[in-house]
């Protein structure tokens, strides 16, 4: 008998433990799949009613839970740490909203993932866009109370106005005015009868107008005029259709247009030719992509050493009779003889000058070919985007050949060859190194530097953030923002 009681008690305890374990898994108290979730942080001014283990949803579908909530005493903000399934990605403009399931249901977090065009948020990062707090029921009730108080005041005002003797006389006056208005309406109906004849005349004029419209319709049916040709001749219709199609294609191309801005500097390793210091160059490039296959590149290049400008003049001398005089046959001193040299050449080096480039490029997979104007002279270039397995690192190597006659050097007619490398350590920031004019006799040089590259979407994002920051500064510190 004793054994049966112990067996029953053991079965009861075992069943209770199983129920406890099952309920723990159902409510999320026990989890063995945390490795399938990423942690994110977000801040609220108020998260009243949002408890630990509350659901986190995206588009109404549960994707995680609230791991913990904490109050930041220095900033008086509430911090919520959430766990979201790795299959769902969040982007830079993601934010959260505190919602309630029904009227009396529990509160949960609704997460808006953001735009996929922006960079992805990494696990452990904080949502940068401000989150939305829940609606405060106390404030709603206070507003309802104020509305009820205003209604009561209005009702009391009506009672004071209409309940007194003066109010009754005012009501009687209103009724008298209504009676007078009815009499005037009866008089107005008599006037309407008198205008029936005028309406009939207008109908006759409308009938004549309809005859004119019928005549125009007949001409259109016969194919006369522009509308008639458009309706009856298929050639005119197809010409108009082709025109509209061309306009549509043009706006489609404008919509797919992409612009890339690139700026970098190059610092040379040793002094340059005809310059006692190390040269440094700066480049500003705007790359316009009408489509994915080709592009146009506008380049502005500046150099501390500068570029050379040459001019020459030829002198001739004649006597009073118009006969040409040979200066070398004159018996003059050497210093004076130099003044009569026929060929006179001058070379001028202008420092810190600016050159313009305009190039056309064609893309073939990871290789891009360019041809056009490089630093003010004709040439060509090749860009090779070295493929890597990771998206966090990018390396683009470039070979350029320009100034093919060596015009920018003094006594060297070899072409200007350049090898440039861009190593993107971040998405928009890169380091540069390479060799400039490496086949020349006296101007070969190694260089290194840095640059930045961003597209039009990045520019819009930066401008929007700058506008938001400027708005916040103007609201908090109005004296710092000038008013025009």
Tell me the DSSP string of 157-170: HHHHHHHSHHHHHH
pLDDT score at 484? 37
What pTM value is reported for the model? 0.43
Q: What is the DSSP letter of 327?
A: G
Closest to 90 in 3D by CA, of 119, 110, 66, 63:
119
Q: What are residue 317's DSSP bridge partners? A: 325
pLDDT score at 120? 86
pLDDT score at 192? 76
Contact indicator for 85, 36 with CB cutoff of 8 Å: yes
pLDDT score at 124? 81
pLDDT score at 433? 95
Distances (CA, A) of 445 to 143, 279, 280, 421: 76, 9, 11, 14
pLDDT score at 173? 81
- The Cα–Cα gap between 451 and 86 comes to 34
Pairing of strands 416-424, 429-436: antiparallel
Local confidence pLDDT in tens for the 484 residues of the chain = 555 777 877 787 787 777 766 665 555 555 556 778 888 988 888 777 788 888 899 988 888 988 888 888 776 788 888 898 888 888 888 888 888 877 677 888 899 988 888 888 888 888 877 766 665 566 667 787 788 888 877 777 767 666 667 777 777 788 888 888 888 887 777 777 667 677 777 777 777 777 777 776 776 666 666 566 655 666 666 666 677 676 566 555 555 678 899 999 999 988 887 778 888 899 999 999 888 888 999 999 998 888 776 766 666 666 677 777 776 666 655 555 555 555 556 666 677 788 899 999 999 988 999 999 998 899 999 999 998 887 788 899 999 999 888 888 877 888 999 999 999 988 889 999 999 999 988 889 999 999 999 876 665 555 555 566 666 666 665 554 444 3
- CATH of the structural domain 258-306+351-460, one choice from 2.40.128, 1.20.120, 3.10.450, 3.40.390: 2.40.128
Give the burial class of 308: count Cβ atoms within 10 A of its Cβ; 0-12 exposed, 13-18 middle, 19 or more buried: middle
Torsion of the alpha carbons at 347, 350, 351 and 357, rounded to the nearest 10: -110
pLDDT score at 473? 61
């Amino acid at each position: 008998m004793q054994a049966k009681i112990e067996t029953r008690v053991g079965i009861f305890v075992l069943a209770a433990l199983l129920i406890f374990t099952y309920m723990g898994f159902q409510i999320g108290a026990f989890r063995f799949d945390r490795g399938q979730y990423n942690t994110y942080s977000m801040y609220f001014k108020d998260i009243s009613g949002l408890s630990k283990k509350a659901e986190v949803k995206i588009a109404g579908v549960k994707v995680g839970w609230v791991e913990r909530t904490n109050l930041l005493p220095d900033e008086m903000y509430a911090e919520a740490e959430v766990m979201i399934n790795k299959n769902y990605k969040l982007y830079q403009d993601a934010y959260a909203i505190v919602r309630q399931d029904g009227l009396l249901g529990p509160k949960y977090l609704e997460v808006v993932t953001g735009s996929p065009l922006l960079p992805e948020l990494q696990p452990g990062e904080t949502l940068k866009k401000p989150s939305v707090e829940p609606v405060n029921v106390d404030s709603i009730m206070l507003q309802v109370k104020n509305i009820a108080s205003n209604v009561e005041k209005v009702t009391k005002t009506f009672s004071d106005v209409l309940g007194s003797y003066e109010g009754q006389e005012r009501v009687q006056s209103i009724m008298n005015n209504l009676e007078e208005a009815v009499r005037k309406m009866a008089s107005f109906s008599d006037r309407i009868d008198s205008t029936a004849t005028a309406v009939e005349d207008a109908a006759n004029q409308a009938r004549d107008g309809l005859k004119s419209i019928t005549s125009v319709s007949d001409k259109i049916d016969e194919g006369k005029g522009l509308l008639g040709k458009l309706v009856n001749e298929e050639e005119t219709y197809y010409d108009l259709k082709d025109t509209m199609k061309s306009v549509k294609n043009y706006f489609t191309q404008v919509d797919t247009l992409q612009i890339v801005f690139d700026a970098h500097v190059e610092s040379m390793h040793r002094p340059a030719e005809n310059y006692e210091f190390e040269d440094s160059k700066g480049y500003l490039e705007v790359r316009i992509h009408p489509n994915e296959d080709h592009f146009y590149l506008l380049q502005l290049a500046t150099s501390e050493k500068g570029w050379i400008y040459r001019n020459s003049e030829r002198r001739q001398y004649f006597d009073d009779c118009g006969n040409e005089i040979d200066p070398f046959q004159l018996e003059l001193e050497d210093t004076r003889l130099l003044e009569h040299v026929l060929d006179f050449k001058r070379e001028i080096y202008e420092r810190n000058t600016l050159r313009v480039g305009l190039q056309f490029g064609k893309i073939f997979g990871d290789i891009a070919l360019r041809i056009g104007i490089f630093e003010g002279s004709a040439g060509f270039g090749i860009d090779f985007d070295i493929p890597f397995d990771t998206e966090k690192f990018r390396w683009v190597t470039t070979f350029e050949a320009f100034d093919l006659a060596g015009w920018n050097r003094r006594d060297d007619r070899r072409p200007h060859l350049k090898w440039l490398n861009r190593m993107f350590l971040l998405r928009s920031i890169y380091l540069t190194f390479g060799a400039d004019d490496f086949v020349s006799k006296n101007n070969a040089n190694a260089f290194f530097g840095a640059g930045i590259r961003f597209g039009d979407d990045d520019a819009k994002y930066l401008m929007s953030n700058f506008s938001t920051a400027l708005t916040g500064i103007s609201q908090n510190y109005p004296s710092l923002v000038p008013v025009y």
